[in-house]
Every structure is written in C-alpha cells, then in structure tokens.
C-alpha cells in the first residue's frame, strides 16, 4: 500500500469508485482508495439498481441528468456495459399519496423529464396485475430503467487503476491526522497514508468518519429489505418497475424472477441484519397491490442501508473549518443512479476548484448549520 498519496478516497462503494476514477481522469494519479471489506460490499451491492430521471425534486433530477449523460456513454468510455434495460418506472398513488405524486409530476414536467400522467385504467392496461381499486393517479417515465451496479463499479475500478490509482480492499480507515486544521494523513489498519486530501465516501459510516474531523453530519441510516421470488412468468418481461408511493413498496422483473422491496426502519448497525420475517410485511402489501404475487415463492432476500440526510439531498464538497476534507455521502436511495454525478462533481470541486456540471450549493454541509 502506498504511504503517500495526493488524495485518499475512503469507501469502495459506487460513489467512492466514481470519485476515484474521476479524480484520476482529472490528472490526480497518485490516489489511493481504502475499503474496509470488499468493493461494493456496502449499500451499492444491495440496491434495486434503478436509474431514473423521474426523481421527485429539481436538485435530484439535475443530478440524474448529469449521471445519465455518463451512463449512456459508458460503453464508449469504459469498454464495459452498464447492462441498462429500459423497463420504465410506473408510480401509483392512493388518495393519501396523490398530492405527493402531483407535486413530483409538476417538477418533472417543468424539467422536461418525459413523464406521462396515467389514469387508474391506463395503469391497469400497462400492468394488468396491479389492483387499482384505491388508485387515484399514476405516472410513468418510459425511459427509466435498471442497470448493473457491479458492472459499473468494476469499470470505475479498472479505469482508475489504468490511470494510476491504487485500490486497497480489507483496509479500514481508522482516523484522520490533522495539523493546524488541515488533513495531513489517514490512519488505516495497514498503516498511515500521508495525504493532504481525503474524500469521505463511506455511505452508512459517513457520520462516524465526519466526526473524526469535528463534523456533525446529520445522516440517519434506514434499512430496506429486498426479496426475490422464484421464476414467475405471470408477471411478463414487459412489466415496468412499479412503485406504490404510499407504502413505499415496489416490484420489478429480475430475470425470470420478481424483485420486491420495502422498508424504512432506522438502523444503528452498520451491518444491516436480514430479517426473513420481514417478508410477511412485503407479502401483505403484495396481497393488496398485486395479489398475483401471492402465487410466487420467495427464495432469497437481503437488507441494505440507505444513508439519508434530513432534506434527502447528498453532502458534497469541502467541509468548513478543516482543510482537505471532502464529503461525497448522504446519497440515500439514489446513490447508484447518481454515482457518475457524485464522482464528476467531486473531481470538479477538487481539481478545478469548483463544480461546473451543476450548481452544488444545495449539497453543501453548511446548509445543516441553518437547520
């Protein structure tokens, strides 16, 4: 492992790897990444893998546009595919969620996201298995889809290494060395790396790492479960991702199988425990929203953490009052789709002195001081 680097990225999830690649691509070649376990072993390897433009806020839609550009040029850039499948993203709203969905559609339309409003009957035409008895409104973005986050991480890792970056798995950062209010090194389980610059891309542990330099990142980790059924042909391949907004329950096709996701339980553990009994809650919602799924057998599942800030926006850029500490964290439920944006913007901030791909003011740490 290098003992001196121009920058150290802590965290080998999709965001850390994107930062590593984009920093190297900007000419910062002597750069090192440390990952306490294996690459992608955190939330990035446990997501539902959706890539969508139909986000609910102007800021997150803009992040999607920045990310989308790179994802669509990915094979050309890296010689590796994201395995993007344009399945579409369909949302259903009950009366309780109607205003929420109307608000999202208004922002999406304003920002030229190709969103279509659906009547409950149109929802039923697109996905006959959906129960629309209590649905008052729907929407679909047909250009949204699913990617393979592992392929993306592999491409970033390979690309970064080719540019001279170093990746260290099973090496945990244990502290930041400061001198006169500036970063001068990172302590790790394999020794110290002297560096003037650190990127905090530690996902669910970002609050802990931020505290090493006196930050109080208001990040709370929420657990979400995903379950996979056995082969289930009654839901055809043409089915879009379906989100039940009120219950935050969703399903989509996963190969010949079906993937279902749900859950928002606060977690104090960094290693989220999978609870097989949680499937009862998921099935309960399936029984209501897509009863045909009761005929499918759940064969496996997992749990992952979504690291959320109070305003559900990420934290990007230099921390105040400490030189050389940069955050790229708090990605909540959209860190996979926004991975190119996280890396591009972080690299612009560090290498160019400011982000130019989009306005990052809403993502600054300082916003929490006003809350």
Ligand X SMILES: Cc1cc2nc3c(=O)[nH]c(=O)nc-3n(C[C@H](O)[C@H](O)[C@H](O)COP(=O)(O)OP(=O)(O)OC[C@H]3O[C@@H](n4cnc5c(N)ncnc54)[C@H](O)[C@@H]3O)c2cc1C
| First and final C-alpha spacing in the chain | 41
Asked if 122 and 142 count as a contact pair (C-beta separation under 8 A), the reply is: no
Q: How far is the CB of 330 from ligand X (least distance, A)?
A: 8
Q: Of 139 and 346, which has the nearer Cβ to ligand X?
A: 346
Please, which residue, 122 or 194, has the CB nearer to ligand X?
194
CB of 196 to ligand X, least distance (A): 19
Q: Rounded to the nearest whole angstrom, what is the least distance from the CB of residue 252 to ligand X in the complex?
A: 9
CB 342, CB 316: distance < 8 Å: yes
For residue 359 the two structure tokens come to 């306005």
Strands ordered across the beta sheet of 166-169:
166-169, 31-35, 7-10, 198-200, 325-329, 315-318
Closer CB to ligand X, 138 or 263, in the complex: 263
Q: Report, in Å, the least distance between residue 119 CB and ligand X.
A: 26
Residue closer to ligand X (CB basis): 289 or 334: 334
User: Of 25 and 87, which CB lies nearer to ligand X in the complex structure?
Assistant: 87
Cβ nearer to ligand X, comparing 120 with 185: 185
Assess contact for 290 and 252: CB atoms under 8 A.
Answer: no
Point out which residues bind ligand X (CB under 6 A): 10-16, 34-37, 41-44, 46-50, 172-173, 201-205, 209, 224, 226, 261, 304-306, 329, 331-337
Beta-bridged to residue 301, according to DSSP, are 227
We find the least distance from the C-beta atom of residue 160 to ligand X, in angstroms, to be 14
Is there a contact between 81 and 151 (Cβ–Cβ < 8 Å)? yes
CB of 79 to ligand X, least distance (A): 23
Helix (H) or strand (E) holding 304: strand 298-308
**Nearest-approach distance from CB 30 to ligand X, in angstroms:** 19
The three-state secondary structure class of 137 is strand
Long-range pairs for 160-163: beta carbons < 8 A, 24 or more residues apart: 160/17, 160/20, 160/21, 160/24, 160/31, 160/33, 163/21, 163/24, 163/25, 163/29
C-alpha–C-alpha distance, residues 148 and 123, integer Å: 27
Rank residues 52 and 93 by Cβ distance to ligand X and give the closer one: 52
């Amino acid at each position: 492992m290098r003992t001196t680097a121009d920058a150290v990225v802590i965290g080998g999830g999709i965001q850390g790897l994107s930062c590593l690649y984009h920093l190297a691509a900007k000419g910062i070649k002597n750069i090192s990444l440390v990952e306490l376990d294996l690459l992608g072993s955190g939330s990035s390897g446990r997501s539902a893998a959706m890539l969508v433009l139909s986000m609910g806020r102007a800021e997150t839609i803009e992040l999607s546009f920045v990310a989308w550009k790179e994802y669509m040029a990915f094979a050309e850039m890296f010689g590796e595919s994201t395995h993007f499948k344009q399945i579409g993203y369909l949302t259903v709203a009950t009366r309780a969620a109607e205003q929420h969905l109307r608000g999202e559609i208004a922002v999406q339309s304003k920002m030229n996201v190709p969103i279509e409003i659906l009547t409950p009957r149109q929802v039923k035409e697109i996905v006959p298995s959906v129960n629309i008895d209590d649905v008052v409104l729907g929407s679909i973005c047909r250009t949204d889809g699913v990617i393979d986050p592992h392929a993306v991480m592999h491409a970033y890792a390979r690309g970064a290494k080719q540019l001279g970056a170093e990746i260290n798995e099973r090496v945990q950062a244990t502290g930041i060395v400061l001198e006169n209010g500036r970063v001068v090194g990172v302590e790790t389980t394999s020794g110290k790396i002297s560096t003037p610059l650190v990127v905090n891309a530690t996902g669910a542990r970002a609050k802990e790492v931020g505290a090493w330099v006196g930050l109080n990142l208001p990040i709370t980790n929420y657990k979400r479960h995903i379950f996979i059924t056995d082969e289930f042909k009654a839901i055809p391949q043409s089915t879009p991702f379906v989100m039940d907004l009120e219950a935050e329950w969703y399903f989509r096709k996963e190969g010949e199988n079906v993937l279902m996701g749900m859950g928002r339980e606060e977690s104090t553990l960094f290693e989220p425990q999978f609870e097989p009994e949680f499937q009862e809650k998921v099935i309960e919602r399936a029984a209501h929203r897509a009863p045909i799924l009761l005929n499918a057998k759940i064969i496996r599942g997992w749990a992952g953490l979504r690291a959320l800030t109070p305003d559900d926006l990420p934290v990007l850029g230099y921390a105040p009052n400490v030189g050389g500490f940069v955050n790229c964290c708090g990605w909540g439920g959209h860190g996979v789709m926004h991975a190119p944006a996280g890396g591009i913007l972080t690299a612009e901030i560090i290498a160019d002195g400011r982000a130019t791909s989009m306005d990052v003011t809403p993502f600054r740490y300082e916003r929490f001081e006003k809350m």
